[in-house]
Amino acid sequence: MSDFTRVAKTSDIPDPGRKLVEIDERLVVVFHAAGHFYCIDDVCTHDGGPLGEGELDGFAVACPRHGAKFDIRDGRALTMPATKPTMAHEVKLVGDDVLVKLTAE
C-alpha cells in the first residue's frame, strides 16, 4: 500500500485545470475544479484513451478518443462507449501541497 505522494503546489494547477503526474510508474491526472482537487487514472476504460488530454466540463472529462465521459470525483463512467469506471485516487491538501495516495488495485 503506497503512501501519499506530493504531486504539485495548489497554485500549480489553475481552476479549472489539470496536471498529469506519474506515481510509482502509474500515470494519473490531478484535476482542479470548483475549488477542489481530484485524481483519476489517465486511462479510459473503453480503449485506453488519455483522459488527461480530454475536455473538462464541470466534473466530467471527455475521453479524446471516442468521447466517453467520466466523473473526475469518483471515476464513474458517465456515457458510452465506456461502461466501467476508471480508478479514482485519494487527494489531500497539506498547506500549499497537493498529495495523492494511489488506490490499491
Q: Which residues bind to ligand FES, rule: CB under 6 A?
A: 44, 46-49, 63, 65-68, 81-82
Closest by alpha carbon to 29, among 15, 48, 43?
Answer: 43
Question: Quick one: 38 or 49, whose CB is closer to ligand FES?
Answer: 49
Least Å distance, CB 27 to ligand FES, is 15
Least Å distance, CB 46 to ligand FES, is 3
Closest by alpha carbon to 43, among 17, 68, 8?
Answer: 68
What does the block give as the cell for 72? 473526475
Least Å distance, CB 80 to ligand FES, is 8
Grid cell 489539470 is found at 18
Question: Quick one: 66 or 92, whose CB is closer to ligand FES?
Answer: 66
How far is the C-alpha of 36 from the C-alpha of 34, rounded, in Å? 6
* H-helix or E-strand spanning residue 43: none
Question: Quick one: 16 or 64, whose CB is closer to ligand FES?
Answer: 64
Question: Quick one: 68 or 98, whose CB is closer to ligand FES?
Answer: 68
